[in-house]
Amino acid sequence: MSSAIDQDVELIREAVNESLKFEKKLLQDVEESIHPPVQLLVDKATQFKIAVTMQAQGECQGSITAEGSMIKSNLISSSDAVNLFLRGHTQEPFVYENARQPIYLAHPALPMVNLVQPTIASTFYCNENLNEVGVTARFVPFFHGGSL
């Protein structure tokens, strides 16, 4: 009788092990199919954060800002992000290397709409460094001529 019980216990163990393997495989499959929520727009971010977000979202990130914060912080005040903005326009490969997380974007896309005050637009378009590398040529201005 003891051997019959041992056989039953062994069968139960095998069934539990198979069930655990199945559950583990199912969880792995589910984790692989779940993607992070899409972030449609970014208003202001560092070059690293934009690159990380673009990498997580298929290399594309839209930017809409009403106060020019993206231009002011990333292009006028600091030239670190210039390369990412240029490549986000031309979709040429972009590499960001740092100790925490290297990022490679094969075809980055960074469409932008910037509703900025005239003083920020003037500072941006008069910036010789940005003019020399072609950043200002990629930002097409639109000036509303009528009264609101």
User: For position 128, what pLDDT does the model report?
Assistant: 92
User: For position 93, what pLDDT does the model report?
Assistant: 95
Please state, in angstroms and rounded to a whole number, the distance separating the CA atoms of residues 84 and 39: 18
Please state, in angstroms and rounded to a whole number, the distance separating the CA atoms of residues 59 and 104: 9
145 within a domain of the structure (yes/no):
no
User: For position 38, what pLDDT does the model report?
Assistant: 66
Q: Are residues 74 and 106 in the same domain?
A: yes
Please state, in angstroms and rounded to a whole number, the distance separating the CA atoms of residues 84 and 81: 5
Task: Please give the distance of CA 35 from its chain centroid, rounded to a whole number.
Answer: 13
Q: What is the mean pLDDT of residues 90-94?
A: 93
Q: Are residues 55 and 28 in the same domain?
A: no
146 within a domain of the structure (yes/no):
no
- At 144, the amino acid letter reads H
Q: What is the mean pLDDT of residues 107-116?
A: 88
Q: Are residues 24 and 59 in the same domain?
A: no
143 within a domain of the structure (yes/no):
no
105 — pLDDT class (breaks 50, 70, 90): very high
103 — pLDDT class (breaks 50, 70, 90): very high
User: For position 132, what pLDDT does the model report?
Assistant: 92
Measuring CA to CA, which residue among 71, 111, 74, 73 is closest to residue 91? 111
Q: Which of 26-30, 50-54, 97-101 has the lowest mean pLDDT?
A: 97-101
